[in-house]
């Protein structure tokens, strides 16, 4: 067992199971997540016998950083896992803080046609500890705190649901990494039953939906998941989610040249989202070597934006961070493994 797999309640249960007081879990959390110890020997306020027991029972192993690509306001990290698999995270320095994009799986089974990770298929789920320690190592490298987390790296978070929810509990915990739940966003390609489950999750976490098309005909071509959960079912689930949580939803929309970027698409999208408490994040596509989709022209992106705006849809164009470094989902991992 790895200690970073345990949320606070689970660690309290552990202490009770070894006949210790459960407040020790909070004490230990501070050492793990605030003081960021690398050995149990650094702990000064827990007695020796317990430390020895911890050493026996719970490993402190983290993922390890094998490569960092640095640009002005973005770092991309490649991590190695204990079974030699690789995952990646991207750190973006905004004026409002440090935002990290983390992976949730090794590879991905959703098979989106434009996505490098989808091309590679899923190897396995990440463990909670593998998600949490990505953050610990990046904070250490930055020598400052991460303030925002988006689960938008490699993988489909709702395909590894329980792990991702536990990850959120740990990073949000006041004794853990203290990342405010409103600063955490989970992005899904639209696994409808999990959207219903997520609306019951008692943390004020944001939800983003990778929509990328205004209708089934186009979405079916680029996102196979749409054949299982078509667009109208996603929209019904989102309306229910908003009713239940009162939170605004983000729709991500990558601009793919001649696929989903026409004026007709912009009009259809405006109609689809009319009256929904949401905003659209237009994402210029990051082209990737092995996939033939192209990024839309700037004037086309601007036109698309203007049409949404005119139709009273809140919309932003995502600021570009990582196109010089390999920042599109899965590119760094692919480069490493296909050498
Ligand atoms: N599986 C989840 C989260 C991981 S993908 C989801 O689908 O939302 C995170 C986002 O990056 C998704 O919106 C995905 O569609 C988008 N994406 C994937 N490859 C991309 C690329 N090459 N350029 C821009 N965005 C990309």
Q: Which of 63-72, 185-194, 250-259, 315-324 has the lowest mean pLDDT?
A: 315-324
Q: What average pLDDT does this structure show over 61-83?
A: 94
User: In this predicted structure, what is the pLDDT of residue 97?
Assistant: 96
Q: Are residues 37 and 163 in the same domain?
A: no
| pLDDT tens digits, one per residue of 109-125 | 999 999 988 777 899 99
Q: Are residues 22 and 153 in the same domain?
A: no
pLDDT-derived band at 87 (thresholds 50, 70, 90) equals very high
Residue 322 has pLDDT above 70, yes or no: no
Q: Are residues 260 and 313 in the same domain?
A: yes
Q: Which of 64-78, 155-169, 222-236 has the lowest mean pLDDT?
A: 64-78
For residue 242, what are the domain limits? 64-337
Q: Are residues 187 and 220 in the same domain?
A: yes
User: In this predicted structure, what is the pLDDT of residue 336?
Assistant: 59
Is 156 one of the catalytic residues?
A: no
Pick the last residue of a domain from 17, 34, 57.
57
Q: Are residues 22 and 99 in the same domain?
A: no
pLDDT-derived band at 106 (thresholds 50, 70, 90) equals very high
The structure tokens listed for 251 are: 């729709």
* The total number of structural domains that make up the chain: 2
CA 319–ligand 1 middle distance (angstroms): 15
Q: Are residues 95 and 30 in the same domain?
A: no
DSSP-derived secondary structure for 148-210 = EEEE-SSS-GGGSHHHHHHHHHHHHSTTTT---GGGEEEEES--HHHHHHHTTSSS--EEEEE
Instruction: Give the binding-site residues of ligand 1, using a 6 Å CB cut-off.
Output: 110, 112, 114-115, 152, 156, 187-189, 210, 252, 254, 283, 285-286, 288, 328-329
For 300-328, letters b (16+ CB in 10 Å) and e give bbeebbebbeeeebebebeeebbeebbbb
User: In this predicted structure, what is the pLDDT of residue 327?
Assistant: 52
Q: Are residues 51 and 85 in the same domain?
A: no
User: In this predicted structure, what is the pLDDT of residue 121?
Assistant: 84
First to last CA, the chain: 33
pLDDT cut 70: percent of the chain above it: 94
CATH code of 93's domain? 3.20.20.70
Q: Are residues 76 and 12 in the same domain?
A: no
Pick the last residue of a domain from 13, 31, 57.
57
User: In this predicted structure, what is the pLDDT of residue 319?
Assistant: 75
Is 329 one of the catalytic residues?
A: yes
Please, what is the Cα angle at 168 between 165 and 173, to 5 degrees? 130
Q: What average pLDDT does this structure show over 43-65?
A: 96
Catalytic residue among 108, 112, 278, 329: 329
Residue 328 has pLDDT above 70, yes or no: no
Instruction: Say what the pTM is.
Output: 0.94
CATH code of 17's domain? 1.10.150.530
């Amino acid at each position: 067992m790895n200690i970073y797999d345990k949320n606070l309640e689970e660690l309290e249960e552990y202490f009770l199971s070894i006949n210790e007081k459960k407040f020790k879990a909070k004490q230990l959390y501070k050492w793990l997540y605030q003081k960021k110890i690398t050995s149990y020997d650094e702990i000064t306020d827990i007695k020796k016998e317990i430390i020895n027991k911890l050493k026996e029972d719970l490993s402190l192993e983290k993922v390890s950083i094998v490569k960092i690509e640095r640009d002005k306001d973005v770092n991309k990290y490649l991590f190695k896992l204990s079974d030699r698999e690789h995952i990646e995270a991207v750190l973006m320095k905004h004026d409002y803080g440090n935002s990290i994009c983390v992976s949730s799986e090794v590879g991905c089974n959703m098979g989106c046609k434009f996505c490098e990770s989808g091309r590679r298929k899923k190897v396995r789920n990440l463990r909670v500890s593998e998600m949490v320690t990505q953050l610990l190592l990046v904070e250490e490298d930055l020598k400052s705190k991460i303030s925002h987390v988006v689960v938008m790296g490699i993988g489909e978070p709702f395909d590894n649901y329980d792990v991702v929810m536990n990850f959120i509990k740990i990073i949000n915990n006041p004794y853990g990494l203290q990342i405010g739940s409103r600063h955490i966003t989970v992005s899904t390609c639209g696994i409808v039953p999990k959207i219903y489950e997520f609306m019951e999750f008692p943390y004020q976490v944001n939800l983003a939906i990778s929509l990328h098309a205004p209708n089934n005909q186009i979405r079916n071509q680029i996102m196979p998941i749409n054949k299982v959960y078509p667009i109208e079912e996603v929209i019904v689930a989102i309306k229910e989610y908003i009713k239940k949580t009162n939170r605004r939803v983000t729709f991500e929309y990558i601009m793919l040249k001649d696929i989903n970027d026409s004026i007709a698409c912009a009009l259809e999208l405006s109609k689809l989202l009319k009256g929904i408490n949401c905003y659209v994040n237009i994402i210029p596509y990051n082209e990737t070597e092995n996939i033939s989709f192209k990024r839309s022209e700037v004037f086309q992106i601007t036109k698309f934006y203007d049409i949404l705006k005119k139709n009273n849809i809140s919309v932003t164009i995502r600021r570009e961070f990582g196109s010089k470094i390999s920042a599109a989902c899965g590119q760094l991992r692919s480069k490493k493994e296909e050498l």
